Amino acid sequence: MSSSEIAVKRLRRQWEPEEKTWNDEVLEVPWEELTPPLHKSTVFALKNVFFFSHATSVQARAISFLRTSGNSAVLEAPTGSGKTLAVLIPLIERTVRACDAYVAEHGRPLLRRDIVGVILSPSRVLAEQTFVVGRNLVSRLPQNIRFVLCDGAVQPVHAVLDGLKKAARGAGNFLVTTPHDLSEFLAVWEQERAASAVSDEMQELLATQDEETRRRYYEKRGGMQSVSGDTGNAVQLRGCHSERFAFVVDEADLVFHSPEMRGAVTRFLDTYAGMEEPPQKRHKFAPYKSSPSGQIVTDVAFVGATVSTSQELRAYAAHIQATLGTQMHTIVLNSSQDFVTQLQNRYMMCEAHEFLPLLVQLMNLHASKKHFIFFNSPKTLKFVEKLFGSLMKSESPLLYIKHTFVMYEGMNERARLEQYNAFLNHGTNAQELATKKTQPPPHAATEKKNQVYSGGWKRDGRPPDGKGAILLCTDIAAFGLDVRDVDYVYHFEPPATVQSYVHRIGRVGRMGMRGSSILLLPCFSNESSLASARERKTTSTRFNTIANTKFSTSELQSVHMTLDDLGKEQRCYIEDLGKRSELQPYSIPPFAPITSTIRNIISQQKNLLKLAEIAAMSMCTVPENAEKAKAWFYPKLALCALLLD
């Protein structure tokens, strides 16, 4: 699969669900009214390719700062507020303006194969998404500006470099990659450059000679072509004409939490980024080279939903400002005045043995929708995947959604992309009704006599299968993925950090659309809850029957849990999450008791029982390299929640 086929595999947004509406309050300024104005081709792409008529608040602020060379930024805004376009638009505007300046100065278009910017993403799935957005944005520009994906899955690194050498020359290329793939690309690029490069002294001498002298030199050397900046045939790292090189780190807080990814970022900036030389020390024959050591003048952008919470990142941003001579701006938009959301954050407390039955009931309530279910550990994910498969395959299925996909750390990269694209391209019931209307089959003559049994559950003997899909995933899917037709996010394991919770709930309610996040909190009830619980009536007295009660009958099946049932640490945990996003209690209507059925399915399958025990132990651990991480489960609670005993 080539990079040009990714648009087919990666469905960005081909339709909008009928029940969803855009919230115009998240929009701030029309694209035409931004100051200074955007290029008309950029405005055309935003309005006719992305169908965005206005800039959000984060986009308006970021474009005003980053579109001028010499400015860097630490950009924080809620998930789904348009941060990707907020960074890509000013970078493209810089390149377009540099092309226009070059044409005005030289009278010919800029024809080079340089890499004018690098955009780092923590995962290959997110890199692919950014690549698609950037490529669609530049496809309408008159200049030849390309976005190149280097993820090691679609193409190997050396194939990406060969593609850059053979591609048509233009204004430059933006390399979209991950920290690991960037290190591999630079290693291959350095080898290629060392094998074919002319010495620096010879480059300086040839730059001062006329064209005839350079031609005779190349003929004597056997036709070797120059790799200096004059021909534009070589792949180099430098800014477009007079603009600075751009280095963007998406989801920077996640990147800096990983020592490996953080090391790749710091090594690149220490090796290739430098400070701009004073004008009197610049060489006349090398206008694109900012320092004699080969370092490039660079602007940096750190983007994410929780970048301000990372002390290490803020300290490194100050170091960048001092060493690279760029003006670092801090753009933080997190208040309700800056961004209006229609996301509902809810939490639901339940008895430990009712944890799995409640999750299954929540899935069945919206069987025609798409759902994210988040886990902290792949071990817990594998248990739930196996359990859902057992609940769907039985003769009387307890789970009505038949399509389940997975994404977790340690999974093969190609398999992860296939699972994610399959989840994206899965059609829900709303899509099928809009594209294909089928007529119900005619009833038999015997069925027409009794209309009660002519349709529905009694006709088929089983409940209908849902048209929705479930994505079981760890926090690897919580950062940056843009899926517009997902309505619900469930937290099977409460997130270990507030940052993880913010990114998880950002998968729904994007760009002012509606969505719901449900946090499941199993616990043990204390004596106060049991004392206040309503008892099931066993007498036949007229006014004491269940049907005549004026309160919710859900309390007759299970004990009503309150915050008083939680320990001090657990209450503090909910308060910390509520500070970032308001939490509301949630309850569901009564449902048929299925606890014993699920318990029997788990106990009768040895493999499933073993996975449950392994998952219970993993639920009690805290992820490594996580600041202020907390685990909701402890061994007794985890075992009771998974084994229902």
Q: What is the pLDDT of residues 367-380, one digit of tens each?
A: 888 899 999 989 99
For the segment 541-563, what is each residue's pLDDT rounded down to a tens digit? 444 444 444 444 545 445 566 77
pLDDT at 453 over 60: no
How far is it, in rounded angstroms, from Cα 79 to Cα 334?
A: 10
How far is it, in rounded angstroms, from Cα 508 to Cα 489?
A: 7
Mean predicted confidence (pLDDT) in 273-298: 56
| Residue of 478, 494, 473, 489 lying closest to 629 (CA atoms) | 494
Q: Please tell me the number of Cα atoms within 13 Å of 95 on its side-chain side.
A: 29
Mean predicted confidence (pLDDT) in 358-369: 89
Question: Which of 85 and 485 is assigned the larger pLDDT?
Answer: 85
Min mean pLDDT across 305-309, 440-444, 549-553, 584-588 is at 549-553
H or E element: which one contains 473? strand 469-473
Residue 642: partners with Cβ closer than 8 Å, 6 or more residues away: 355, 356, 383, 602, 612, 615, 616, 619
| Residue of 117, 95, 106, 103 lying closest to 41 (CA atoms) | 95
Question: Which of 25 and 355 is assigned the larger pLDDT?
Answer: 355
Mean predicted confidence (pLDDT) in 323-328: 90
Report percent pLDDT > 70 for the chain.
Answer: 73
Question: Which of 336 and 315 is assigned the larger pLDDT?
Answer: 315
Q: Please tell me the number of Cα atoms within 13 Å of 621 on its side-chain side.
A: 13
- What pLDDT is attached to residue 327? 92
How far is it, in rounded angstroms, from Cα 645 to Cα 642?
A: 8
- Mean pLDDT, rounded, of the chain: 78
Q: Looking at domain 23-194+234-276+290-332, does it have CATH number 3.40.50.261?
A: no
Residue 173: partners with Cβ closer than 8 Å, 6 or more residues away: 113, 114, 115, 116, 145, 146, 147, 148, 164, 167
- What pLDDT is attached to residue 627? 62
pLDDT at 197 over 60: no
Q: How far apart are the first and last CA of the chain?
A: 49
For the segment 24-43, what is each residue's pLDDT rounded down to a tens digit? 455 678 899 888 889 888 89
Q: Where are the alpha helices (DSSP H) in 369-427?
A: 378-393, 413-425
The answer to whether 207 touches 230, Cβ cutoff 8 Å, is yes
Residue 343: partners with Cβ closer than 8 Å, 6 or more residues away: 505, 508, 509, 514, 515, 516, 517, 581
pLDDT at 502 over 80: yes
H or E element: which one contains 504? helix 498-505
Whether cis (ω within 30° of 0) applies to the bond prior to 30 is no
Mean predicted confidence (pLDDT) in 140-169: 89
Q: What is the dihedral of CA 596, 598, 600, 605, to 10 degrees?
A: -170
Q: What is the dihedral of CA 620, 625, 628, 633, to 10 degrees?
A: -10
Mean predicted confidence (pLDDT) in 284-308: 69
Radius of gyration for the chain, computed over Cα atoms and rounded to the nearest angstrom? 29
User: For residue 196, what pLDDT band results from cuts at 50, 70 and 90?
Assistant: low
Going from N- to C-terminal start, the domains of the chain cover 23-194+234-276+290-332, 342-431+463-525+561-643
Q: List, edge to edge, every strand of the sheet that includes 342-351.
A: 404-407, 469-473, 370-374, 488-491, 514-523, 342-351, 584-585
What is the residue-wise DSSP string for 508-542?
SSGGG-EEEEEEEEEE---HHHHHHSPPPP-S--G
Fold of 342-431+463-525+561-643: Rossmann fold (3.40.50)
How far is it, in rounded angstroms, from Cα 374 to Cα 409?
A: 13
Tell me, yes or no, if the two domains 23-194+234-276+290-332 and 342-431+463-525+561-643 fold the same way.
yes
Mean predicted confidence (pLDDT) in 378-405: 89
Burial of 458 (0-12, 13-18, 19+ CB in 10 A): exposed
- State whether the Cα torsion 388-390-391-392 is positive or negative: positive
302-336: burial string, b at 16+ Cβ within 10 Å, e else: bbbbbbbbbeebbebbeebeeebebebbebebbee
- What pLDDT is attached to residue 444? 53
- What pLDDT is attached to residue 566? 77
How far is it, in rounded angstroms, from Cα 541 to Cα 392?
A: 42
